[in-house]
Amino acid sequence: MESRFDVRNDRDLTMLVDFYELTMGNSYLEEGVGDQIVYFDMYFRRVPDGGGYCIMAGVDQLIEYLEDLRFTEDDVNYLRSTGQFSEKFLDYLAHFKFSCDVWAIPEGYPVFPNEPLVTVRGPAIQAQLLETMVLVTINHQTLIATKASRICRVAGNRSVMEFGSRRAQGYDGAIYGARAAVIGGCSATANTLAGMMFDIPVSGTMAHSWVQLYDSELEAFRAWSRAYPDQCLVLIDTYNVLKSGLPNAIKVFKELRDKGHEPLGIRIDSGDITYLTKKVRKALDEAGFPKAIIVISNSLDEHIIKDVLAEGAQINSFGVGERLITARSEPVFGGVYKLVAIEKEGNVIPRIKISENEEKITNPGFKKIYRIYEKGADKAIADLICDSEEVIDESKPLTIFDPVYTWKKKTLKNYKAELLRKQIFKTGELCYESPSVVEIRNFAKAQVERQWAEVLRFENPHNYYVDLSPKVWNAKFELLNKYSEEFSGK
């Protein structure tokens, strides 16, 4: 989605690659395997915060990067200056033309461990080169969209505004973090640039500094009510909420009403939320302002929101900052990008990465994902990872099984099987159009509602099934057995 406004944020991120992607590219070329067709999968292994699902995000930025992928003369000169590359390779880069196929799960879908969110097929040099940008883009936005989804679900029908730019990890942490927060369910952001770039609502009123600028708080509130008579929301904790901020706000609200305007409400940014909001709500109601809203914004996260709502705190809207924009409780999304197959004479040859840590073993081969829904309820039952050539015939029963405890089986009859991924690039050409961010948010909300409540549970959720088709399972265990036999004699 292009912005309606010129935001002068058209950076070239071609050089945002881990250096080894380039040294490997150099070696691929030297060894004559640069054009070898390979397949890479991007996937993650665990949902952050012990949650039941993640929300896919970042595809639109991945598209922007891939569309812009080219090496300038300065890029090539810089690489030459490191002394690590052959002129042949530098010449290859200077004439680089992206030609990969790329598949991705569209933004907004709930996604689960071990399924390939993105698959790249193409010449080894190219597919390898994308590793860092595929990962940083999808890892970051999926992390924040997932956190936002947790927070917004706890807030229920109260709005959640993203307020965290100042504590984000860098400018893009703020910009794309705001985008992802809205995908995850936030109603607005305080980040003006994100509002402009992604056409999402922006919000914000006053800071403590507004109050401090004036000789008295009352004077500060009055000045504000003159500037924004119909959207007057004042921050009441600069000096003392109950003894100063609240009575001054009510005084100004009455003056506003006398002039024919209705106040919007108040914001509190410190102190005990439950105690203060109950007092404030009662006072506002008694003073004749039952529609004045209460906004809270002090180091909030899903746990605090859950607790204060359970305690009966009176809140209409939350401003959530640093704990959302950095996903503070678990700030790393551990997506990986692994080679899963190569092509030889047109045949796909699965490849595996083995690890003593079983969960780090890859699922080999070129695959696709079906999401299986129960027909009547329209609720998701499982995701089934199939070989790219397999097709599910919905008219026939489908038996799925646990990939570890394989005797645990389930046969489905009344189901729908929907392909989860879309091709976004075909031989280097874009073949997908991203929806707007607000459309993605609405889509995400609808898709989350297609999950059973036990998967959405806040703590100890049910593990959603991500199963392998018999064909994929067999390919994996053949490779595992091969290497196990090879090393067992040593």
Residue whose CB is less far from its own copies, 355 or 463: 355
Of 91, 240, 408, 431, which lies in the binding site for its own copies, with binding defined by CB under 8 A? Answer: 240
| Span near its own copies by CB under 8 A; candidates 251-259, 356-364, 383-391, 447-455 | 356-364
| Span near its own copies by CB under 8 A; candidates 251-259, 310-318, 355-363, 413-421 | 355-363
Asked if residue 45 binds its own copies (CB under 8 A), the reply is: no
> Could you give the CA distance from residue 112 to residue 102 in angstroms, rounded to a whole number?
19
Asked if residue 33 binds its own copies (CB under 8 A), the reply is: yes
Asked if residue 168 binds its own copies (CB under 8 A), the reply is: yes
Residues in contact with its own copies, shown as a per-residue x/- string from 61 to 90 under the rule CB under 8 A: -----------x-xx-xxx--x-x------
CB–CB of 416/435 below 8 Å?
Answer: no
Asked if residue 282 binds its own copies (CB under 8 A), the reply is: no
Asked if residue 249 binds its own copies (CB under 8 A), the reply is: no
Strand partners of residue 401: 409
Residue whose CB is less far from its own copies, 175 or 384: 175
Asked if residue 243 binds its own copies (CB under 8 A), the reply is: yes
Residue whose CB is less far from its own copies, 79 or 440: 79
> Could you give the CA distance from residue 111 to residue 455 in angstroms, rounded to a whole number?
11
3-class secondary-structure state, position 418: strand
Of 97, 156, 170, 310, which lies in the binding site for its own copies, with binding defined by CB under 8 A? Answer: 170
Least separation in angstroms between residue 116's CB and its own copies is: 15
> Could you give the CA distance from residue 82 to residue 14 in angstroms, rounded to a whole number?
17
- In angstroms, how far is the first alpha carbon of the chain from the final one? 56
Strand partners of residue 162: 189, 320
Which of 173, 174, 189, 261 lies closest to 224, judged by CA?
A: 261
> Could you give the CA distance from residue 185 to residue 225 in angstroms, rounded to a whole number?
31
Residue whose CB is less far from its own copies, 250 or 372: 250
Asked if residue 94 binds its own copies (CB under 8 A), the reply is: no
Q: Which of residues 217-236 bind its own copies (CB under 8 A)?
A: 223-224, 226-228, 231
Asked if residue 96 binds its own copies (CB under 8 A), the reply is: no
Radius of gyration, alpha carbons of the chain: 27
Asked if residue 414 binds its own copies (CB under 8 A), the reply is: no
CB–CB of 305/316 below 8 Å?
Answer: no
Tokens representing 47?
Answer: 């949902």
CB–CB of 294/315 below 8 Å?
Answer: yes
> Could you give the CA distance from residue 50 to residue 346 in angstroms, rounded to a whole number?
42
Asked if residue 210 binds its own copies (CB under 8 A), the reply is: yes
- # residues near its own copies by CB under 8 A: 116
Task: Determine if residue 299 is left, alpha or beta; phi over 0 gives left, psi from -120 to 50 gives alpha, anything else beta.
Answer: left
Asked if residue 369 binds its own copies (CB under 8 A), the reply is: no
Asked if residue 128 binds its own copies (CB under 8 A), the reply is: yes
